[in-house]
Every structure is written in C-alpha cells, then in structure tokens.
C-alpha cells in the first residue's frame, strides 16, 4: 500500500502529475483543490496517496493533506461514486463548499457537477452527513480548504504554450463535456492567465 510520496515534480498537466521518488516516476491524479497547492515543476512536493488496484490498472490518487484524502475515501463509499467522480466533486467545489451543501441539504448544487445526477446527489447528502461528523471529530479542521490558502499558490504554475487548450483538456478529464468545458474556459479567459488560473475560474463559474 502506497500512502505518501515525497519527491520531485517532473510533470504537471492538470489533473495529472508525475512525481519522481527513488528513481521511479509515479503518475498521480489529483483533484484541482490539491493541484492548486503544488509547487513549480522541478521542486519537491509531498502528496498523500489513495491507491486503487483494478484488474486492468493500478491507479494513484493524490491529495495535499490527509484530511482531503479522508474526505475522498468517504465519498467513494457512496453508491454510484467512484474515484473519478470523487475527483470531479473535489475539483468542482472545495471541501468547505461540499460540507456546506451536505449541511444545507443542497443537492441541487451537486447536480451541477458532471456525472452527478439527482439520485446520486441525494445519496451524497444523506450518506455523507454522518460521515462528515465523524471526520470533523478526527481532524483539526484542515478539511476545509480556504480560498486564501489557494490564492497564495496561484503564481506557481508553469504556463504551457496553449493555456486554453490545456484548461479545456483538464476539464474534460474531470468529466465535463467538450462544449461545456470550452464555453466555461472562453468565458473566463483573460490574456496572460495560466491554464491553472483558467481551470480554477472556469470551475467556479460552473458551481
């Protein structure tokens, strides 16, 4: 079982990274909330891992801290929610926003996320209510990711050549339809923005 990887960031292509540790490059998928907190490529980073073994693949899902990983692990216990949808949920809204949706029984906010139908959203609200209470008792409050924490990492992303294309590709990887992703990115595009900026702003515009 792989629980944590500390190494050098070799590649950053949201929502995927390659992190090298002990001479091995590990491909890891992260929710955007964790991706925003990564340093620049070439620097050392630590990601907490949820390891999934399937018949056809071994997949690594990474998180900035243990509390977000714990929330992800509770999410994928809900019927109809797999790891890919769990990443989409934690990319489309912060942990704090998700907790607020559950507390307020606001399943309609969850339905806006790709892959989350009305029935799945209702199950998430019902099943996660008690689980979130247990999580809050187990951690020190770091589950909620504040916008101020994200903002200080905004300038650390290495800007690729085609920022709009990369942003659209990242949203498609998270489950958004190509037309929806392109529309969201175009609506928030400003000259000089990095692909990470566009992904963050596009996700906010769709919540």
Cβ atoms 103, 95 nearer than 8 A: no
| pLDDT of 35 | 93
Question: Is residue 69 over pLDDT 90?
Answer: yes
Tens-digit pLDDT profile for residues 155-189: 333 334 488 888 888 888 888 888 888 888 989 88
User: What is the Cα 70 distance to its own chain's centre?
Assistant: 13
Q: Which two tokens stand for residue 117?
A: 């139908």
Q: Output the pLDDT for position 138.
A: 59
Question: Is the model's pLDDT at 144 over the cut of 50?
Answer: no
pLDDT of residue 165: 87
- At 44, give phi and psi (nearest 5°): -80, 140
Spell out the residues 6+ positions from residue 4 whose beta carbon is closer than 8 angstroms to its own.
Answer: 46, 47, 48, 49
| Cβ atoms < 10 Å from Cβ of 41 | 17
> Is residue 95 a contact partner of residue 73, using CB atoms and an 8 Å limit?
no
**pTM beyond cutoff 0.85:** no
Nearest to 204, CA basis, from 93, 108, 89: 93
């Amino acid at each position: 079982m792989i629980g944590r990887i500390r190494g050098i960031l070799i590649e950053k292509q949201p929502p995927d990274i390659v992190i090298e540790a002990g001479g091995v490059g590990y491909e890891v998928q992260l929710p955007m909330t964790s991706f925003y907190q990564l340093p620049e490529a070439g620097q050392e980073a630590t990601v907490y891992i949820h390891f999934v073994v399937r018949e056809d693949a071994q997949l690594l899902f990474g998180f900035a801290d243990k509390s977000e990983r714990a929330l992800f692990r509770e999410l994928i216990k809900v019927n109809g929610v797999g790891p890919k949808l769990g990443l989409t949920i934690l990319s489309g809204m912060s942990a704090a926003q998700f907790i607020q949706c559950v507390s307020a029984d606001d399943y309609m906010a969850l339905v806006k996320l790709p892959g989350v139908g009305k029935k799945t959203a209702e199950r998430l609200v019902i099943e996660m209510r008690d689980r979130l209470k247990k999580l809050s008792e187990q951690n020190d409050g770091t589950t909620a990711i504040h916008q101020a924490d994200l903002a200080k990492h905004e300038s650390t992303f290495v800007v690729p050549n085609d920022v709009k294309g990369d942003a659209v590709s990242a949203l498609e990887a998270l489950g958004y339809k190509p037309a929806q992703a392109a529309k969201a990115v175009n609506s928030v595009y400003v000259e000089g923005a990095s692909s990470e900026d566009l992904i963050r702003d596009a996700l906010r515009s769709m919540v």
